[in-house]
Amino acid sequence: MSSSLTFAYYPGCSGLGTSLEYDTSTRAICAALGVELVDIPDWSCCGSTPAHTVDHTLSSALSARNIAQAEELDVQGIITPCPSCLTNLKTASHRMEDEAFKEKVNKLLEKPVENKLPIMSVLQLLHEQVGVEKVAEKVVKPLEGLRLAPYYGCIMNRPPEVMNFDDCENPIAMDELMAALGADVAPFPLKVECCGASFGVARKDIVAKLSGKLLDAAEDVEAHAFVTACPLCQMNLDLRQSQVNSLTGSKHDMPVFYYTQLIGKALGLDAKSLQMDKLCVPPSKAFRKMEEAQQANAS
């Protein structure tokens, strides 16, 4: 195999819907960093949150089908930007290390899965395969002066024996990537705290409390913006920020970026592929602060 990186890409359902900007910016930076993405042909739902609460075999079969589809490609592994998809793919793969379980899953599939391909998040790919140094080399517009609160969400690194990436209590992959872009990374203490997840539909009060706490903490460390790795977290912090404000009486006004958008910006990619305009809290405020800091520094 050549030294170039070729990966099967699993966008997940939110990548084509609520987090379109995550998907397009991921594709854009991968192209810029020399990672070739091959979309998994005819991919299906990973099972998301409901499937594993009903039946572990069925839930694993849903993910296993996607793994089997990817196995037909000439790739070095499977990547996905979404931590929830990642959890399902990795959990299925982890469970199928037990041959008896794998057999049960294969009974449900049209074609059997081999379960040999490594599966990782785009974040892990950038951190471990591409490398922080390579990203730093490609930076043309450093994010100097932009103070960021890195927020990973609760499942990117958990459970550690399945996800097997970074520290489950104090992950640093995104911190290092952001620092490589020249950004000022705040020591954000709630990196892996729950945002309220899908309770945004059923119990807005819970999300308001949990996401509100994250926003408070980010302000406490004087961050200009959040940088996230999970579509659901991003939505709860960004889209629901006004809901949080009205329910808790706070006045948060903090942009919530995907880390892929910020990498794209530092690499000088065009605005269209980064789709900053899709963010609910306008990012301009944070960029203005960044520019002010850069000017103050220059003079």
Partner 1 sequence: MKIGVFVCHCGSNIAGTVDVATVAKEARKMPDVAFASDTMYACSEPGQDGIIEAIKEHKLDGVVVASCTPRMHEPTFRRTVERAGLNKYMFEMANIREHVSWIGKDTEANTAKAIDLVSMAAAKLVHNKGLTPKSFSVNKRVMVVGGGVAGIQAALDCADGGLEVVLVEKTPSIGGKMSKLDKTFPTVDCSSCILGPKMVDIAQHPNITLYTNAEIAEIQGYVGNFDITVNKKASYVDWEACTGCGLCTEKCPSKKSRDVFNEEIGTTTAINIPFPQAIPKKATIDAEFCRKLTNGKCGVCEKICPTKAIRFEQQDEPVSESVGAIVVATGYDLFDHTRYGEYGGGRYADVITSMQYERLLSASGPTGGHVKRPSDGKEPKNVVFIQCVGSRDKSVGRPYCSGFCCMYTAKQAILTKDHMPESQSYVFYMDIRAPGKMYDEFTRRAMEEYGTKYIRGRVSMIYPMGDKYIVRGADTLMGTQVEVEADMVVLAVGAEASKGAPQLAEKLRISYDSYGFYMESHPKLKPVETNTAGVYLAGCCQGPKDIPTSVGQGSASAAKVLALFSKDQLESDPQISEVDIKRCIGCGKCIETCPFGAIEEIDFRGMPKANVIETICQGCGICTSTCPQGAIQLQHFTDNQILAEVNVLCQQTLQQSFE
C-beta of 166: minimal distance to partner 1 in Å? Answer: 11
Q: Which stretch binds partner 1 (CB under 8 A): 39-47, 88-96, 213-221, 285-293?
A: 213-221
Q: Which amino acid is at 261?
A: Q
Q: Considering only residues 82, 92, 190, 279, which one is a binding residue for partner 1 as defined by CB under 8 A?
A: 190
Q: Where are the beta strands (DSSP E) in 72-138?
A: 78-80, 119-121
Q: Which is nearer to partner 1, 15 or 150 (CB)?
A: 150
Ramachandran area for residue 282 (φ above 0: left; ψ -120 to 50: alpha; else beta): beta
**Which residue number, 122 or 214, has a Cβ lying nearer to partner 1?**
214
Q: Using CB under 8 A, which of 137, 220, 277, 292 touches partner 1?
A: 220
* Shortest distance (Å) from residue 169 CB to partner 1: 3
Task: Find where tokens 């050549």 sit.
Answer: 2
One of 55, 128, 169, 291 touching partner 1 (CB under 8 A): 169
CA 158 to chain centre: 14
As given in the structure block, the two tokens for residue 79 are: 């990547």
- State the Cα–Cα distance between residues 124 and 171, nearest whole angstrom: 11
Beta carbon of residue 184, minimum distance to partner 1 (angstroms, whole number): 18
Give the H or E element holding residue 258. strand 256-258
In the complex with partner 1, which residue's Cβ is closer, 186 or 227? 186
Of 152, 82, 151, 67, give the one whose Cα is nearest residue 116. Answer: 67
Contact 171, 163 (CB under 8 A): no
User: Of 171 and 231, which CB lies nearer to partner 1 in the complex structure?
Assistant: 171
Least separation in angstroms between residue 179's CB and partner 1 is 16
- C-alpha gyration radius of the chain: 19
Select the span of 63-71, 99-107, 186-194, 262-270 touching partner 1 (CB under 8 A).
186-194
Residue 205 binds partner 1 (CB under 8 A): no
Q: Which of 170, 242, 246, 284 binds partner 1 (CB under 8 A)?
A: 170
Q: Give the number of other Cβ atoms within 10 Å of residue 114's Cβ.
A: 12
The residues in 1-40 that bind partner 1, with binding defined as CB under 8 A, are none
Q: Which is nearer to partner 1, 65 or 127 (CB)?
A: 127
Q: Pick out residues in 105-164 that bind partner 1 (CB under 8 A).
A: none
Residue from 17, 50, 159, 187 touching partner 1 (CB under 8 A): that is 187
- Measured CA to CA, the distance from residue 50 to residue 131 in angstroms comes to 35
Q: What is the 3-state secondary structure (H, E, C) of 2-16?
A: CCCEEEEECCHHHHC
Q: How far is the CB of 8 from partner 1 (least distance, A)?
A: 32
Question: CB–CB of 67/112 below 8 Å?
Answer: no
Q: In the complex, which residues of this chain contact partner 1 (CB under 8 A)?
A: 167-170, 187, 189-190, 193, 216-217, 220
